[in-house]
Structures are given as structure tokens and as C-alpha cells.
């Protein structure tokens, strides 16, 4: 596709990241691949494909774009939109088997929450290698003979990513909010927008510094929107309330009606920006998800130290002792309950335990995927595999 299309995708996805955007599925030849060249698979979220193509531009290889319904790899795999079936389908229909001599395919690590390595290997002659979390690390990964460093396995939330998230939240709210405020309160439009953008940038820029202090958000009911009203939000709210109070008390033109209007506006803006704040980041579990309180549990009697758990965990929760053939959960508190370790452990040695201590069957995690409200529903892709 053209340069202009790539630019459109980059701009569009920067502004409207929450909406799917599909790329054509199929096979892409990068440079001059031959019969020994590596084969990569990714989902068909347009931005992902552009980033992966960019990362692969120095290699001779094949890129298979599978149908993730225009959703990014992690969300697609976790939500049951990028499935084992989709990967099997692109492997079988693209004709790649006739183009290469080997049967190794590199999948993005974050797809491990939804794509079952065991199933792919049982249903086809292909062997899966989990690639790095970020496409930019692929050339280094190939140079390291297809092995990942610890950093290549880890999700991060860099300053740039935080700025992107601030824009993603602020933009729609600013458009919708401006339509309402512009109608009822036109002279305050500029200030209203400054408030939205300023608070969004503040909230996301400082997120890693206060993430541990965020208490569980406010649920109005089990299925309604949650607000991760955190210490930063509370502090900003308190501060601005004091300023508004001073204005109302000491500035003659600022009447109590203004105080009330701004207090309500500020509260709405703050609540909106902190809506599912944790869920908008890769380093904390959405408070909407019922699984936010469950813990991983490793059964050492079953574990044989194969190491798939460490290979797919994006939060460095595991260490594997290659001498004693066993794994250890070393950073349980960092777990974001993505389920990748459970889906991939061939011996079912890892399970989730809920708050009552009950075990959640690994098959449940494999076959039921998280919907937007954080509930596990049957994975449509899994049922198609025969």
C-alpha cells in the first residue's frame, strides 16, 4: 500500500486508537525472501502491520497478516478476536508452506494470551517461536539467533506511549464536550478544553509514579463504568476546589454560580479521564475485569521447567531453574492476569485462584476470552477448530 495510506493510518490511529482499523490479510514479501527465510505472523490492525513492516525492512522474510478483525495483537488475542483458528487459517491458505523449506513461524509474544501453541502444532506441521513484545526488537531477536533478552519480553509504558494515551482519551472527550459546552456555555469553551487536555496529560504522564496507590475504582454496579479515581485525581480536584473557593470569596466578578458550574465541570472531566485508567495501560489490570483480584498459582509437582511461562509473560513474573527443571513465581505482584502463562503451560502447572481460594480451570482461560466488560465469554475461534 502507498506512502499516503501509511501516513493516514499513523495519523488516524494516533487520534482514534480505540477503533479497529483493518489491513488486508495475506502474505507480504519483505525484500527478497528465499526458501530459508524467516516467516512472521501478525494481526491485521493497520498500525501494527505498518510498524512490523518498518521493523522488518532490513530483513529478507515473509510476513503473514492474519485476521485479528482490525484489532491490535494483545487486545485481539485476549478478547478472542485473534485466535488459534486465524493463525491456522493464514498458515494453510497463504501458500507459505510451498515457499519455504522449514516449518518455524514467529508469532508476537502478546498473542500468547489467545493463540494456543499446542493446538497449532497439533493441527499443522508448523512450530511456534514467540517473538519479542515490540516489533522494533525483531532485528535484534533475529541477530540473537531467535532468542529474546529479558527486555524483549517485557511490556513498557514509556513517556511517548503515555502521551499517546492522553491524546486518545482527551480527543473524543474534547470533541463531544465542546459540542455541549459550546452550546450552553460558549465563553468557557477554551478553558474547558484546556482543562481536558491538561488533566489528561497530567494523569497519564505521572501514571507509573502513582499506579501502586490507585485503590479499586468506583463501581456503580457490577457492569457499569468504573472510575479509577486516584490520589493524583483527588489531589488535583482538592487543589482546584480551593482555588475556586478563593475566587468565589475574594474576586467580585466570580459568583457562587460560577463556583458551582466549574466544580461540576471539573468533577466530570476528572471522572471521565480516570475512567478505567488502569485498563488503558499495559502495566496495570483494568479494574473492570473480574479477574483483577485473582492470583496466579504454580504447582511445583506438575512443573517440569519447560519455560513457556517465562517466555510469554510480559511482566517478568517467572524465573526458570534449568538445572532443577522447575519454575518459580518471583514477581507475583507485577502480574496483570493476562493468562498467557496458563494458556501456554503444556502441563497445566499454572492456574488462577480467585479471592475465595477456588481454582479456575486452565481450560476456562483457554476457551473463554475477555469481553469489553472484563467477563469471560466463549472464544468463537476455539469452537471452529476440529
- Dihedral sign (CA 371, 20, 71, 176): negative
Of 81 and 153, nearer to ligand SF4 (C-beta) is 153
Question: What letter would DSSP give residue 113?
Answer: G
Dist. CA 263–CA 13, nearest whole Å: 33
Question: Shortest distance, CB of residue 287 to ligand SF4, whole angstroms?
Answer: 16
Question: Shortest distance, CB of residue 357 to ligand SF4, whole angstroms?
Answer: 18
CB 157 within 8 A of CB 203: no
Sheet-wide strand order for 26-30: 26-30, 61-66, 39-43, 104-107, 127-130
Of 165 and 345, nearer to ligand SF4 (C-beta) is 345
Of 63 and 303, nearer to ligand SF4 (C-beta) is 303
Distance, CA of 356 to chain centre: 27
Question: Shortest distance, CB of residue 338 to ligand SF4, whole angstroms?
Answer: 4
Of 106 and 340, nearer to ligand SF4 (C-beta) is 340
Of 105 and 313, nearer to ligand SF4 (C-beta) is 313
Question: Shortest distance, CB of residue 345 to ligand SF4, whole angstroms?
Answer: 3
Question: Shortest distance, CB of residue 316 to ligand SF4, whole angstroms?
Answer: 8
Question: Shortest distance, CB of residue 382 to ligand SF4, whole angstroms?
Answer: 18
Dist. CA 135–CA 47, nearest whole Å: 11
Helix boundaries (H) for 228-255 = 231-250
Contacts of 82 (CB under 8 A, 6+ apart): 43, 66, 67, 68, 69, 71, 73, 76, 111, 114, 115
Of 10 and 320, nearer to ligand SF4 (C-beta) is 320
Which residues would be at the binding site for ligand SF4 (CB under 6 A)? Answer: 296, 298, 303-309, 312-315, 317, 320, 327, 335-341, 345, 347, 349-350
Question: Shortest distance, CB of residue 129 to ligand SF4, whole angstroms?
Answer: 15
Dist. CA 371–CA 80, nearest whole Å: 8
Of 198 and 305, nearer to ligand SF4 (C-beta) is 305
The overall longest dimension of the chain from CA atoms, in Å, is: 81
Question: Shortest distance, CB of residue 313 to ligand SF4, whole angstroms?
Answer: 3
Contacts of 356 (CB under 8 A, 6+ apart): none
Dist. CA 100–CA 41, nearest whole Å: 14
Contacts 24+ apart (CB under 8 A), 6-10: 6/50, 9/46, 9/47, 9/50, 10/47, 10/50
Question: Shortest distance, CB of residue 108 to ligand SF4, whole angstroms?
Answer: 14
Torsion of CA 309, 155, 144, 123, to 10 degrees: 50
Of 177 and 287, nearer to ligand SF4 (C-beta) is 287
Amino acid at each position: 500500500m502507498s506512502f499516503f495510506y501509511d501516513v493516514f493510518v499513523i495519523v488516524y490511529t494516533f487520534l482514534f486508537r480505540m477503533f479497529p482499523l483493518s489491513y488486508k490479510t495475506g502474505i507480504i514479501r519483505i525484500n527478497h525472501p528465499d526458501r530459508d527465510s524467516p516467516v512472521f505472523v501478525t494481526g491485521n490492525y493497520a498500525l501494527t502491520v505498518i510498524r512490523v513492516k518498518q521493523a522488518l525492512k532490513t530483513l529478507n522474510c515473509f510476513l503473514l497478516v492474519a485476521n485479528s478483525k482490525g484489532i491490535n495483537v494483545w487486545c485481539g488475542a485476549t478478547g478472542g478476536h485473534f485466535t488459534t483458528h486465524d493463525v491456522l487459517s493464514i498458515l494453510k491458505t497463504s501458500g507459505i508452506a510451498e515457499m519455504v523449506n522449514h516449518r518455524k513461524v514467529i508469532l508476537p509474544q502478546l498473542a500468547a494470551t489467545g493463540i494456543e501453541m499446542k493446538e497449532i502444532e497439533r493441527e499443522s506441521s508448523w512450530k511456534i517461536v514467540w517473538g519479542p513484545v515490540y516489533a522494533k526488537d525483531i532485528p535484534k531477536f533475529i541477530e540473537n539467533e531467535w532468542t529474546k533478552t529479558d527486555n524483549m519480553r517485557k511490556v513498557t509504558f514509556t513517556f511517548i506511549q503515555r502521551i499517546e494515551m492522553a491524546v486518545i482519551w482527551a480527543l473524543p472527550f474534547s470533541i463531544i464536550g465542546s459540542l455541549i459546552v459550546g452550546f450552553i456555555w460558549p465563553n468557557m469553551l477554551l478553558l474547558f478544553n484546556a482543562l481536558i487536555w491538561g488533566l489528561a496529560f497530567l494523569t497519564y504522564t505521572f501514571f507509573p509514579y502513582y499506579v501502586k496507590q490507585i485503590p479499586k475504582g468506583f463501581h456503580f454496579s457490577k457492569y457499569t463504568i468504573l472510575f479509577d479515581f486516584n490520589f493524583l485525581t483527588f489531589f488535583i480536584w482538592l487543589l482546584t476546589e480551593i482555588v475556586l473557593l478563593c475566587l468565589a470569596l475574594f474576586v467580585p466578578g466570580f459568583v457562587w454560580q460560577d463556583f458551582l458550574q466549574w466544580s461540576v465541570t471539573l468533577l466530570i472531566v476528572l471522572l471521565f479521564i480516570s475512567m478505567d485508567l488502569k485498563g488503558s495501560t499495559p502495566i496495570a489490570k483494568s479494574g473492570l475485569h473480574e479477574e483483577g483480584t485473582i492470583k496466579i498459582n504454580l504447582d511445583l509437582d506438575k512443573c517440569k521447567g519447560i519455560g513457556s511461562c517465562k517466555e510469554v509473560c510480559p511482566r517478568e513474573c517467572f524465573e526458570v531453574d534449568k538445572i532443577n527443571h522447575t519454575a518459580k513465581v518471583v514477581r507475583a505482584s507485577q502480574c496483570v492476569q493476562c493468562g498467557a502463562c496458563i494458556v501456554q503451560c503444556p502441563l497445566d502447572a499454572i492456574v488462577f485462584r480467585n479471592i475465595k481460594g477456588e481454582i479456575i480451570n486452565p481450560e476456562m482461560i483457554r476457551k473463554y476470552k475477555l469481553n469489553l466488560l472484563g467477563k469471560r465469554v466463549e472464544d468463537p475461534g476455539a469452537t471452529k477448530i476440529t
